[in-house]
Amino acid sequence: MASQKATGLRRIISAFGYSIAGLKVCYKHEAAFRQELLVLLVLLPLGLWLGQTGVERALLLGSLLLVPLVELLNSGIEAIVDRFSGEIHELSGRAKDIGSAAVFLAIALASTVWLLVLSEHFSW
| DSSP collapsed to 3 states, 17-62 | HHHHHHHHHHHHHCHHHHHHHHHHHHHHHHHHHHCCCHHHHHHHHH
| DSSP code for 122 | S
71 classed as catalytic = yes
- pTM of the shown model: 0.85
Domains and CATH numbers, the chain: 8-119 (1.10.287.3610)
Catalytic residue among 36, 56, 71, 78: 71
Question: pLDDT tens digit string along 81-111?
Answer: 988 877 788 888 899 999 999 999 999 999 9
* pLDDT band at residue 3 using 50, 70 and 90 as cut-offs: low
Question: pLDDT tens digit string along 34-79?
Answer: 999 999 999 999 999 999 999 999 999 999 999 999 999 999 999 9
Distances (CA, A) of 13 to 8, 67, 77: 9, 25, 25
